[in-house]
């Protein structure tokens, strides 16, 4: 039961004013602009867009500034803003095979048509702190090569040709939308993917890691990981045809998983899929591993009782805004609830004491 | 789809992706802009972006993006629509204005002084990025390990 409390207005006002001052920090240090956050903390911006489920780098940067760098608080702000937007429509599915790739690697084939593009990656860095970044300095221009003219094909397409990997069912059915209807279980794969792509990176990473350590192990290889831009097209009713309404930078991960066959399926490689807003590859890989683990039922695999196989456990706990909302509300005033708990415990203690006395008297 | 529709599709996409400042500069450099009446004042909204399961399969909802739209009518009667990424109302109105003017006798002028430079800027930006990606192309070699000999 929720009971309203009154009072504290003055204190709350003063607390918020102090929050604003603390957010600004030492006034002797230059203030951060939203553009600086957008440009120089772009991976934080990407995470806020992915989990806020709204692609808008300026808004995400503003949210990070307002939240003092608390990314879950920033995601909360973006989610709250999102609910105020009228829905203008839904896009046609983006074609990631047409992606202009900044990065495209495969852990399964070294010689792939189109080549391995490392892109602007932390991989192969030594993870040593670079004190030069703490000093003024010009960044040398990155090298340029001969750009590729045509988009690079999906690597799993090559396995498809030999029938070595399962085919994705085709179709254009309107997918369920968890922002419009509450989640229901069992959820189909489209709904699971929508849930995972906006899910908390840490939660999805932890579950993915658990599958690697043996809790419903599914032997994932990164068949392909690509980061780049794709155009977004939408049908415009007043025009009667589709136009491009913008372009997004996305990360896509396709895993190729060993599969010995089951009661219903032949031995072949199976797939896990991750697609996320921005350059968010840890999240995309994690999503693909968890997607694959959740597919045990449709592939005729055994339920090993692992957390990553438990659809309701995964999908009901992946959303960090739902989680933090419920978790953090327990610090708000619960005086009346607690008063009744206090009464209850006092009564139980009195009763227990009375029972003990009765037993003692009976024994004597 | 006929050529005129295909052409319009291309310029509307170009306008959607263009930088708001570039578009405003190019329009501002034109001689006298026509009077236009809003049919739908600039409106900020969200579009649900869809992906495909496994990159090639059935659609799923990936998340939303911000989009601003605007529709207007020139005094000469042509109707223009703008659908642009982000939350810039001026950009949406400018895009609708260009779309309308492209249906008038000034189409050639607009194409040369607004659309072509915007297309060039976008192509240059995309090529520069693709060139940087190309410079990071790696060749991996597998080494024979002791246990295989």
**What phi and psi values does residue A262 have, to the nearest 5 degrees?**
-140, -170
User: Of the candidates B21, B118, B131, which has an alpha carbon nearest to the alpha carbon of residue A117?
Assistant: B131
The b-or-e profile of A113-145 (16+ CB within 10 A means b, else e) is ebbbbbbeeeeeeeeeeeeeeeeeeeeeeeeee
pLDDT of residue A294: 97
> Domain map of chain A by residue range?
9-82, 96-118+149-324, 333-363
**A193–B53 C-beta distance less than 8 A:** yes
pLDDT of residue B149: 46
Contact B100, B109 (CB under 8 A): no
* Chain B residues within 8 A of A169 when measuring between CB atoms: 57-58
**Which secondary-structure segment (H or E) carries A9?**
helix A9-24
CA distance B41 to chain A (A): 14
CA distance B69 to B95: 9
In this complex, which of B8, B61, B71 lies closest to A177 when CB atoms are compared? B61
CA distance A117 to B136: 5
**A271–B54 C-beta distance less than 8 A:** yes
User: Of the candidates B67, B48, B51, B68, which has an alpha carbon nearest to the alpha carbon of residue B59?
Assistant: B51
Residues in A 170-189 with any Cβ partner in B closer than 8 A:
170-179, 189
CA distance A59 to A99: 24
Give me the interface pTM, i.e. the ipTM.
0.94
In this complex, which of A56, A144, A197 lies closest to B86 when CB atoms are compared? A56
The strand pair at B79-85 and B59-74 is best described as: antiparallel
User: Which residues are CB-neighbours of A297 under 8 A, at least 6 positions away?
Assistant: A186, A303
> Which portions of chain B are predicted below pLDDT 70?
1, 145-149
pLDDT of residue B37: 97
pLDDT of residue A4: 64
Residues in B 57-76 with any Cβ partner in A closer than 8 A:
57-67, 69, 71
* Chain A residues within 8 A of B142 when measuring between CB atoms: 110
User: Of the candidates A151, A177, A138, A164, which has an alpha carbon nearest to the alpha carbon of residue A221?
Assistant: A164
Per residue of chain A (364 residues), what is the pLDDT tens digit?
555 667 788 999 999 999 999 999 999 999 999 999 999 999 999 999 999 999 999 999 999 999 999 999 999 999 999 999 999 999 999 999 999 999 999 998 888 888 899 999 999 999 999 988 888 778 889 999 999 878 888 988 888 777 788 888 999 999 999 999 999 999 999 999 999 999 999 999 999 999 999 999 888 999 999 999 999 999 999 999 999 999 999 999 999 998 777 777 778 899 999 999 999 999 999 999 999 999 999 888 899 999 999 999 999 999 999 999 999 999 888 887 888 888 899 999 999 999 999 888 888 7
Residue by residue, DSSP assigns B39-93 as EEEEEEEEEEEEEEGGGTSSEEEEEEEEEEEEEEEETTS-EEEEEEESS-HHHHH
CA distance A42 to chain B (A): 17
Q: Which residue has the tokens 């990473």?
A: A205
pLDDT of residue B147: 59
Q: Residue B137: closest CA among chain A residues belongs to which residue?
A: A117
Three-state DSSP class for B22?
A: helix
User: Of the candidates B122, B131, B53, which has an alpha carbon nearest to the alpha carbon of residue A149?
Assistant: B131
**B53–A273 C-beta distance less than 8 A:** yes
CA A274 to chain centre: 10
CA distance A224 to A158: 12
Residues in B 88-117 with any Cβ partner in A closer than 8 A:
none
Interior CA angle at B43 toward B39 and B49, to 5°? Answer: 120
Question: Positive or negative, the Cα torsion across A218, A195, A52, B68?
Answer: positive
CA distance A279 to B129: 15
**A247–B86 C-beta distance less than 8 A:** no
CA distance A103 to A79: 29
């Amino acid at each position: 039961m929720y009971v309203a409390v009154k009072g504290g207005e003055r204190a709350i006002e003063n607390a918020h004013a102090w929050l604003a001052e603390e957010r600004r920090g030492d006034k002797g240090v230059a203030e951060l602009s939203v553009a600086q956050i957008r440009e120089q903390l772009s991976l934080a911006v990407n995470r806020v867009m992915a989990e806020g489920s709204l692609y808008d780098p300026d808004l995400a940067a503003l949210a990070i500034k307002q939240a003092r760098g608390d990314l879950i608080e920033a995601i909360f702000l973006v989610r709250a803003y999102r609910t105020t937007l009228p829905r203008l429509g839904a896009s046609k599915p983006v074609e990631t095979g047409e992606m202009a790739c900044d990065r495209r690697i495969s852990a399964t084939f070294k010689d792939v048509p189109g080549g391995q593009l490392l892109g602007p990656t932390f991989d192969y860095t030594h993870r040593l702190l670079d004190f030069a970044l703490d000093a003024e300095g010009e960044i040398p221009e990155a090298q340029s090569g001969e750009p590729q003219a045509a988009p690079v094909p999906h690597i799993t397409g090559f396995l498809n040709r030999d029938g070595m990997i399962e085919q994705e069912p085709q179709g254009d059915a309107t997918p369920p939308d968890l922002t419009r209807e509450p989640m229901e279980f069992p959820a189909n794969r489209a709904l699971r993917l929508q849930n995972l792509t906006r899910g908390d990176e840490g939660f999805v990473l932890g579950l993915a890691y658990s599958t690697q350590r043996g809790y419903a192990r599914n032997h994932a290889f990164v068949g392909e990981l690509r980061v780049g831009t794709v155009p977004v097209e939408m049908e415009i009713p007043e025009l009667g045809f589709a136009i491009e309404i913008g372009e997004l930078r996305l990360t896509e991960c396709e895993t190729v998983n060993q599969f010995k066959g089951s009661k219903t399926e032949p031995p072949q490689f199976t797939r896990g899929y991750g697609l996320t807003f921005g350059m968010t590859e840890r999240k995309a890989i994690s999503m693909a591993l968890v997607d694959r683990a959740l597919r045990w039922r449709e592939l005729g695999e055994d339920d090993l009782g692992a957390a990553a196989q438990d659809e309701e456990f995964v999908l009901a706990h992946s959303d960090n805004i739902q989680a933090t909302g419920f978790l953090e509300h327990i610090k708000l005033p619960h005086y009346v609830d607690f008063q009744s708990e206090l009464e209850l415990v006092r009564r139980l203690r009195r009763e227990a004491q009375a029972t003990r006395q009765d037993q003692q008297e009976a024994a004597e | 789809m006929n050529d005129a529709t295909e052409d319009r599709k291309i310029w509307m996409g170009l306008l959607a992706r263009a930088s708001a400042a570039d578009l405003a500069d190019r329009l501002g450099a034109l001689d006298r802009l026509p009077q236009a009446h809003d049919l739908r004042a600039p409106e900020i909204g969200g579009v649900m972006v869809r992906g495909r399961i496994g990159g090639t399969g059935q659609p799923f909802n990936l998340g939303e993006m911000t989009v601003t739209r605007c529709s207007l009518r020139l005094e000469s009667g042509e109707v223009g629509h703008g659908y642009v990424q982000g939350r810039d109302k001026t950009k949406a109105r400018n895009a609708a204005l260009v779309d309308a003017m492209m249906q008038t006798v000034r189409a050639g002028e607009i194409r040369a002084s607004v659309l072509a430079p915007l297309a060039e800027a976008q192509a240059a930006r995309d090529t520069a990025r693709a060139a940087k990606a190309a410079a990071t192309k790696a060749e991996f070699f597998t080494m024979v390990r002791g246990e295989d000999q």
